[in-house]
A and B are shown apart, each in its own frame.
Chain A
């Protein structure tokens, strides 16, 4: 019992690594705040483009979405981070990580938004067009607000996945939460920093999980 506490819940070590982990948490939050809005925007863009129903464009989009959903994000990250220098492209670490996550995340968000768009009866778009709205105006005023509401639980659930995904950035030593926790673990020969990081992840994600489950209950009640 004594050893369990000193190895996993060592208060002395917690105090010592706390600022370092907090820095990591900060990086995790910043990375999420960059990747999630970009991924949402990219996903929405994919859905908008595929709603144009241009045959060639659609093929390109399908290939993009399928490819980046099938490609393991960890492998993608390693490819970009170690592959780009070979192409004489000098990408800062943060940008490389953000790019890798964007490619993965936008394809997932794209699928979700596309399902949302398809849930809106065609007639509404036609009604809007018949009153003179452009396709873009009809999308913005009629389709997107309803589509987003219809797939909100899926969007939030994917957002949750993206935040968890950011821990993969530790493989390229981006100083986010898991990376810093592992470093602290190695320096202190103690698992406490990782336990602390786990608690921080939980604290970060728990409100989102709560929100999600409330939304899901609400949508079950509605149906």
Chain B
């Protein structure tokens, strides 16, 4: 992680409401190149909304979202071009069931970047190799396990050579025995220097791989710090309660 470089992602005073419900109440948050920021917080605290504002799947109501120095909320920005640099991995994978794994991974290369099929396929196969699915390129999503599907989802982001990848509970929809494979791919990605923001309940993964743990509650960042600090010596009562409920569940 490079502290001295400008941040890859920077949120300033981010505000978002759905109707009368204010879901993000002025979020300041930045992520350095190569950093893995791990976001935790109770259900409904705004974690998904925060991630979705980072590529404007949700339009922020106020504040700014800067990616690699470009304010993506500024009028006139080419959001479709910028989105290719901001990968996103979804809880429910969201693969295209009518396309093979390779087709899923290469769609944006072909349609957005206008790459010819041979070049896109070569790039797509390289991305599938990074997630350990070289031999599944021609399989359709319904022929893959949940864990494999999620790895295709990760490869779909990686094929575009993003600057940052956002993960929204990437293992929550998986059977327990399939979680490990996805986390392993995420570890490798982190070790390769990828900048990542991960929303997840996999606390062991956070301890092992996160540079920073961020606790959100009711639309605000309540506490953040290195995992050993946040987990070992939580300062806010709400964080202590949250960690206690997690411990109860396990």
Which of B2-10, B25-33, B80-88, B188-196 lies at the interface? B80-88
Residues of B near A134 (CB, < 8 A) are: 80
Question: How far is A129 from B90 in the complex, measured between Cα atoms in Å?
Answer: 13
- When distances are taken between beta carbons in the complex, the residues of chain B under 8 Å from A129 are 57, 83
B172 at the interface (CB under 8 A from A): no
Find the residue from A127, A131, A141 having the highest chain B CB count within 10 A: A131
> How close is B245's CB to chain A, nearest CB, in angstroms?
28
- When the two chains form their complex, are residues B112 and A131 in contact, meaning their CB atoms are under 8 A apart? yes
CB distance from B58 to the nearest CB of A (A): 10
Distance of A145 Cα from B98 Cα, bound (Å): 8
A-B contacts at CB below 8 angstroms, number: 62
Q: Which of A48-56, A70-78, A118-126, A204-212 is the contact stretch?
A: A118-126
Main SS of chain A's interface residues? Answer: helix
* Among A132, A137, A142, contact of B96 (Cβ-Cβ < 8 Å): A142
Residues in A111-154 with C-beta less than 8 Å from chain B: 121, 123-124, 126-134, 137, 141-142, 145-146, 149
**B→A interface (CB under 8 Å):** 55, 57, 80-81, 83-84, 86-88, 90, 92, 94-98, 107-108, 111-112, 153, 156-157, 160
Q: A123-B92, A127-B90, A128-B108 are in contact. List 10 more A-B contacts (CB 8 A).
A: A123-B90, A126-B57, A127-B88, A127-B95, A127-B153, A128-B96, A132-B80, A133-B80, A133-B112, A137-B111
Binding site for B on A (CB under 8 A): 121, 123-124, 126-134, 137, 141-142, 145-146, 149
24 contacts between A and B (CB under 8 A): A123-B94, A124-B95, A126-B57, A126-B90, A130-B83, A130-B86, A131-B83, A131-B108, A131-B112, A131-B157, A132-B80, A132-B84, A132-B108, A132-B112, A132-B160, A133-B107, A133-B108, A137-B111, A137-B112, A141-B111, A142-B96, A145-B98, A146-B97, A146-B98
